[in-house]
A and B are shown apart, each in its own frame.
Chain A
Amino acid sequence: MSVLASAGAFASTATLAPLQLGDLFTVEALSSILLDGLSKAALYALIAMGLTLIFGLMGVLNFAHGSLTMLGAYLGGLVMVTLVTTTTGPFARLAVFFVGLVVVFGLLSALGGALEVGLIRPLYDRPPVYQILLTFGITLVIDELVRIVVLFYGLQPITEWQAALGTKPEFLSGSFTLGPVSVAGMDLFEILLGALAVGAVWAFLTRTRYGLVVRAGSEDAEMTEALGIDVRRVFTTVFALGAGLAGVAGMLLMWDGNWGASVPLATETLLPAFVVVIIGGLGTFRGTVVAALVVGLADALTQWLFVNVVDFPSLPEMTVFLILVVMLVIRPQGIFGRAEVGGH
């Protein structure tokens, strides 16, 4: 009998699966967990990067971030279903995807910039709760608008926009075999795109003057302003960049069968994004990337265990939040966090 047998209501659903714990230490299992973990980490990093950049510089907890991700998924899907036909080849589909990525990044950046200038900027001198309420309100408005549009046009028959999922090239739906290891095409694609996005943002922050300004502004916006730099303009740019990154994440999720373009995607992505940002240390980009890796790999490991050793597939969903609880107890400021960050 499993140790979970005595766990009250859970006991009836818990049964022993064919594999034993020892099976974890095989090349197949470890490589499968590693690849699954890296693909999850890539998605978490993509979802959370914009959120952490915005909080780090401006001290704004953007509750609308998940909705921007969801908008990116729908807009990206719209580009795909508009331009891809049944005769479109796999590499042409991939090319359309990257064109869509640029379009979505541009549109979401413009929306983010407009939101910052029009709605968030007037609240900078108010207590943070005003910004939280405002961005939460923006979430409700965006979600409701999208719900109305997708229902009106019949784009969401069940929970996901299947038409957008169908535009994915076949080689991303299948798996590749590398020796003893089987690799899902979509996992590889997510790892590649996530690494590219992290690398690009990293290079922006560390190799450009604007990135230097963002890092300085994140630490002391007032001092940065006193050096002759218009920090408000930097705020707008970073909010736009954060929104654009949310859109890029959304477009990638649109092709992922575990997520897909759907209205609930807003909440489904916002929660792990917050968890990753808090674990990494609010507002630190490096922390967010490391936290995404930690959470992604832990998520993949527990998922493997609870699918293959203990047949309890719904339990791993709690892993992310359990890590958050442990982190808040032992190191509330997160892995790379300081006592105080952000602000203006």
Chain B
Amino acid sequence: MSSSDTPTDDASGAETTPDTETASTGTPLLAVEDIHSYYGESHILEGVSLEVEEGEVVALIGRNGVGKTTTLRSILQLTPPREGRVRYRGTDLVGMGTSDVAQGGIGWIPEDRRVFSALTVAENVRIAVPKGSDVDAALAQVYETFPALEERKAAEAGALSGGQQQMLAIARGLVGENDLLLVDEPSEGLAPQIVADVAEAISAASEAATVLLVEQNLPLALDLADRFYVLDNGTVVASGDTDDVSAEDDDLRRYLTA
């Protein structure tokens, strides 16, 4: 694990990044460069930088309230950064609309699932299928991956169990034909057996898409991810390969306890 000093003079760092750094062979799929994001006047992200290469699973870990979800929201432009850049395939996303970001191939599996509770399971999947794509094929793919969802396909999503709702949220991300999936706390509030199923689903998803995974469950995060970043107080304080650390690592655990 290596500690990374986050630059405090973020604006200068961001502005000196050359614009010509476009999609070349060495360009990461996603490069978050020194972003500063706020809720109102509260400064949440204080210069977060991270990179995700195509095909990777990268975990973003840290305790509650350090800015993990805000990082994902900033990438999606739901909470647009006031400073810094978010480059996806070399293109800066800052200033774009969220729907344009999503159409570019970035999917979101949010915290608390956020399935459309008044829509049926099938409708939840259908709305995530891009316009012009084969809806029936997408539904068949989902039902093959998650047989439990086929049994409840006509049920309103609000009537599903927490685990089933998480499956549905993942399914929605899968049928979106996304190249990058932002997965936020998928194990939160789920029973251990269900967490194993969810881990399997994310693992399956990672075969089709690159994954940036926000997770407080350290063993799960390290098991699924190739690399990790540790976030604390709105900055990246550590990063490394998951092969080099264990869930018992005291340095890592220190960042996950209050």
Contact = CB atoms under 8 A, between A and B. Distances in A.
Interface in B127-184: 127-128, 130-131, 172, 176
Contacts of B78: 222, 225-226
Interface residues of B, number: 23
Nearest to B130: A228
A225 B102 contact: yes
A162 interface: no
Contacts of A213: 127
B103 interface: yes
Interface string A201-244: 00000000100110110011011111111111000000000000
B142 to A, nearest CB: 15
Interface in B101-146: 102-103, 108, 110, 114, 116-119, 123, 126-128, 130-131
A223 B97 contact: no
B4 interface: no
A226 B108 contact: yes
A227 B128 contact: yes
Contacts of A212: 119, 123, 126-127
B102 A216 contact: no
A334 B103 CA distance: 37
Contacts, number: 58
Given A223-B116, A227-B102, A230-B97, 9 more contacts: A209-B126, A219-B118, A219-B119, A220-B114, A226-B78, A227-B172, A228-B102, A228-B130, A228-B176
A230 B99 contact: yes
B118 A223 contact: no
Contacts of B74: none
A216 B115 CA distance: 9
B127 A224 contact: yes
Given A212-B126, A220-B114, A225 B119 contact: no
6 contacts: A223-B108, A223-B114, A225-B99, A227-B128, A228-B103, A230-B99
A298 B103 CA distance: 49
Contacts of A224: 127
Interface centre among B108, B116, B172 (most CB of A within 10 A): B116
Given A212-B123, A213-B127, A216-B127, A226 B118 contact: no
Interface of A: 209, 212-213, 215-216, 219-220, 222-232
Contacts of A215: 116, 118-119, 123
A227 B114 contact: no
Contacts of B131: 209
Nearest to B104: A228
A223 B113 CA distance: 10
B210 interface: no
B116 A216 contact: yes
B38 to A, nearest CB: 14
A69 B114 CA distance: 36
B110 A223 contact: yes
Nearest to B109: A226
B98 interface: yes
A216 B99 contact: no
B241 to A, nearest CB: 30
A83 B97 CA distance: 47
A216 B128 CA distance: 11
A229 B99 contact: yes
B198 interface: no
A227 B161 CA distance: 22
Interface string B70-107: 00000010100000000000000000011110110000
A219 B117 contact: yes
A113 to B, nearest CB: 19
A225 B116 contact: no
Interface centre among A212, A224, A227, A231 (most CB of B within 10 A): A227
A204 B43 CA distance: 43
Contacts of B103: 228
A182 B117 CA distance: 46
A113 B108 CA distance: 30
Nearest to A219: B116
B99 A231 contact: yes
B127 A227 contact: yes
A230 B96 CA distance: 12
A218 to B, nearest CB: 8
Contact of A226 (B98, B117, B123, B130): B98
A220 B99 contact: no
A227 B176 contact: yes
A227 B99 CA distance: 7
B65 to A, nearest CB: 20
A254 B41 CA distance: 52
Nearest to A220: B114
A204 to B, nearest CB: 15
A222 B98 CA distance: 9
